[in-house]
Chains A and B, each alone.
Chain A
Amino acid sequence: MTALPQSRQLTKRAGRSRSKRNLLAAAIFLVPTVVLILVLRVVPTFVAASQSLHRGIPGSIDAPAFVGAQVYAGLFQSPGFWQTLGQTLLFNVIVNPLQIFISLLLAVLLTRGLPASGVWRTLIFLPAAVPLAGSTIVWGLALRPDGPVNGVLQALGLPAQPFLTSPNQVIGSLILIVSWIGVGYWMIFLIAGLNDIPTVYLEAARMDGAGALRTFFSITIPMLRRPLLFVLVADTVSNFVLFAPVQILTNGGPQGQSNFLMFDVYNQSYNLSNPYAGSAELVILLVIMIAIVTVQFRLLGRGEDN
């Protein structure tokens, strides 16, 4: 009878040393990532937060003075900042649901055994493989008032549009450009998610007499929750920090209508060498993004454990 506790103790000891070894291995593998996260994410966030509480002559090599929340107060009193904030939210309220809706639609279509679906999938994904700056420049040329898109419109008897040069159409034009790229990219994640849904559920639903719509909303969407949550969060974040098309095509205009927060952070920090206002805007952007992503997690992450 004494043999048993002894062997238990031995197993326990072996287990302890194994878990120690595992921990060491995990630590070694994690170190590079943790260091990168610290250097590239955590530290800059602290620096930005600290910088947003200071003010100095733009670009000056002299030490800035601590001014508390004055930089924030200045921003909240500036009509330009409110316009920036409003336009950023407007852009995101439209672009994120739109991109996810189209991606989901395409993903469902392309998993329905259409003829040559591989070719379609490749064609739709292809824009994501082109560097963003490159496709932005091509779109900029295409959408010029005397460019090919207007050529096609006029050939069809439709009036030419000002697109990026109009304060009323600039957001729509930017949505078109980023969606052309984004939709195919996010679609791939959703296709993977759809292919992961065990067919038994779909068959069971069919046997229970559920129609296509009922199956989609009661089986597909709930089973797709994880990839959908990822796509929703990642897409939202990428659109909030959208920069290249604004920098290359609109420079924040016309009339400040595309002066999104991320672009203004860059403009303040680098063009105007005013990292204090830039950092304050960055902190505000961060707070907004965290709030929105938290809501998204609450909505879609709910029922994850069931």
Chain B
Amino acid sequence: MQVHKGVRRWLIAAAVTSIAAASLVGCSSSGSGTSATALPTKLTEPTKPVTITYAGAAYSAADIKPVIAAFEKAHPNITVKYEADPFNDFNSILGAQLSTKDKAIDVFDVDMPRTAAYQARGWLTDISSVFPDLKSKVDAASLAAATVNGKLVGMPYQSSTNLMYYNKKLLSAAGIADPSSSPSGRMTWEQVGTDAKKAQAAGAKYGLVFDQIDRYYQLETLSSSAGGGPGGTGTGNLTPAVDNAGWTKALTWYGDLFKDGVAPRGVTTQETPNLFANGQVAFFPGGPWWAPMFEGSKDLDFGVAPYPAFAGGTAATPTGGWSLGLSPTSTHKDAALIFMKFIGLDNGGYSQYLTALSVPPSNLAGGTKFYDNAAFKDPRMAGVVSLMKSELKNTAILRLKTVGYVEFENIITKTYDDIINGADVKSSLASATTQLKSAWATYKK
């Protein structure tokens, strides 16, 4: 009896504790929205040592180190703790931390197309009053990407563009002339597809492999060039627009590359640059950030050409990059804003401290220094500087701007994967439309 009583007492204690704990968790997760503290209009240097936490995915801890060192030298009272997260998991990590009002993060990288979604979630702070005049300092596309409903909610710092690498040895083996590096000599996707098959017949393992093989960042340009638009329309871009002629044309062409074996199935975005670096791919549309890696392969003879477009379609190149967001729960907003200013604006921004930068910064003054980068002096990259400048100015398209972007990217990536693996294009796009309608219904209420 004694033992039984004891056990019962324990069970009761356990039940009470669990209920108490559950209700505690319940309380903490259902608190009301944060009251944003007023932002300073003039930034004041902290007088005591302060540590801010920066969660980032754009650069590895090693790459960003010189930037943080330069910042800490200029602002001795502020220490920056950098938390590098893997790009693939970054959005879910941020989601887990910010949606529970984690006070551990002060500043974080914002993938530009997610800006509107993050703003709607309450993860970002309106910093318009602190930085009223960015127009003259950063490029227009970056500024537009960091602005939601007229409010500046992030400090844009990095933009991007794409070009097409080609393997000279594989092309000459197939008797194909090197493409021009001038925007006026832009190839058509149709021609690239045909040449890719020829190169493959002459010995290339793969004819044409996209850098970001199943990501909207790069594949949006195909449907856009074919006249299909970014994928959403109407109020807030919350009406799906992927089941149309442009998208069908673009993705039929793309799916056929895999059906014909010109591009490999079962390969992830992480693996594609290695395929080109190993000399297995004839054409590789991709980011200029791979230049240092490709230049490192001594036996790789390659050149760069403009990012192609569909015959009769408009030229479209990917753009957009990263902003810095200020967490509304940050307890060191002053120091965090000083850091954001340093990265985005001071003396042309962060890019001057990076050794191997090959992505254009948003800062206009920083851009001038960027084009002087050693990576672009390699003879194999001939013509790349004027090409990048021209593409950023004339053909760059931003990704779909909508509060429902996170769901959009998730569904569209799966649709790309299905088409790559041989699913019917029409029915895949119809299914994506149904899924988008259901996912976006939340935002329309």
State yes or no: do A and B come from one complex: yes
| Residues A57 and B92 in contact in the complex (CB < 8 Å), given A34-B14, A273-B99 | no
**Judging by beta carbons under 8 Å apart, are B2 and A20 in contact?**
yes
Complex interface: chain B residues within 8 A of A167 (CB): 421, 423
- Whether B177 sits at the interface, judged by CB under 8 Å, is no
Q: Say yes or no: B418 contacts A253, CB within 8 Å.
A: yes
Closest residue to A270 on the B side, CB-wise? B92
Q: Is A92 in contact with chain B by the CB < 8 A criterion?
A: no
Contact call B443/A46, Cβ cutoff below 8 A = no
A165 touching B438 in the complex, CB below 8 Å, given contacts A62-B32, A253-B421: no
Q: Chain B 23-40 against A: per-residue CB contact (8 Å), 1 yes, 0 no? A: 001100111111000000
Asked if residues A162 and B265 are in contact (CB atoms below 8 Å), the reply is yes
Q: A42-B22, A61-B98, A253-B417 are in contact. List 12 more A-B contacts (CB 8 A).
A: A16-B2, A38-B21, A57-B121, A59-B121, A59-B123, A59-B406, A166-B422, A251-B417, A254-B417, A271-B95, A272-B410, A275-B99
- CB neighbours (8 Å) of B99 from chain A are 59-61, 273, 275
Q: Is A252 an interface residue (CB 8 A)?
A: yes
Q: For the complex, what is the distance from the CA of A54 to the CA of B26, rounded to whole Å?
A: 12
**Is B101 an interface residue when CB atoms closer than 8 A count as contact?**
yes
- Which of A142-150, A191-199, A213-221, A234-242 interfaces with chain B? A142-150
Residues of A within 8 A of B95 (CB): 59, 270-271, 273
Q: Is B121's CB under 8 angstroms from A61's CB?
A: yes
Bound-state CA distance A162–B122 (Å) is 44
* Interfacial chain A residues near B442, Cβ < 8 Å: 55, 57-58
The size class of the interface chain B forms with chain A is 35 or more
Chain A, 63-85, CB within 8 A of any chain B CB: 63-64, 78, 80
Q: Is the CB of A38 within 8 A of B418?
A: no
- Residue pairs across A and B with Cβ atoms less than 8 A apart, 27 shown, are A23-B6, A34-B14, A42-B18, A43-B18, A46-B18, A59-B95, A59-B98, A59-B99, A61-B98, A61-B122, A63-B32, A143-B266, A145-B266, A146-B266, A147-B266, A162-B265, A162-B421, A163-B266, A165-B266, A165-B420, A167-B421, A251-B413, A255-B418, A270-B92, A272-B407, A272-B410, A273-B406
Q: How far is the CA of A1 from the CA of B418 in the complex (A)?
A: 91
- Interface presence of B318 (CB below 8 A): no
* Chain B CB within 8 A of A291 CB: no
Partner of B265, one of A51, A59, A165: A165
How many residues belonging to A are interface residues under a CB distance threshold of 8 Å? Answer: 51
Question: Is B120 touching A60 in the complex (CB atoms < 8 A)?
Answer: yes
Residue of A nearest to B423 (CB): A255
A61 to B30: give the CA distance in the assembly, Å.
9
| Nearest neighbor of A41 in chain B, beta-carbon distance | B18
Assess the A19–B29 pair: CB atoms within 8 A. Answer: no
- Determine how close the nearest CB of chain A comes to the CB of B192; give it in whole angstroms: 21
In this complex, what residue of A is CB-closest to B214? A251
Alpha-carbon separation in the docked complex, A47 to B265 (Å): 41
Contact of A39 among B21, B92, B118, B407 (CB under 8 A): B21
B354 close to A (CB within 8 Å): no
Contact among A23, A39, A80, A164 for B266, CB-based, below 8 A: A164
B91 cross-chain contacts in A, Cβ below 8 A? 271
The reply on B59 being an interface residue by CB < 8 A is: no
B267 / chain A contacts, CB cutoff of 8 Å: 144
CA distance A145 to B263 in the complex (A): 11
Q: B3 near A271 (CB under 8 angstroms)?
A: no
Partner of A60, one of B2, B14, B121: B121
- Among residues of B, the one whose C-beta sits closest to the C-beta of A266 is B92
Return the chain A residue nearest B271 by Cβ: A141
A50 at the interface (CB under 8 A from B): yes
Give Cα A147 to B17, complex, Å. 54
| Chain B residue at minimum C-beta to C-beta distance from A50 | B26
A166 to B423, CA, bound (A): 9
Cα–Cα distance between A39 and B6 once the two chains are bound (Å):
22
Q: Which residues in window 52-102 of B have CB below 8 A to A?
A: 91-92, 95-96, 98-99, 101
Q: Within 8 Å CB of A166, what residues of B?
A: 421-422
Interface centre among A253, A256, A271, A273, by most B CB within 10 Å?
A: A273
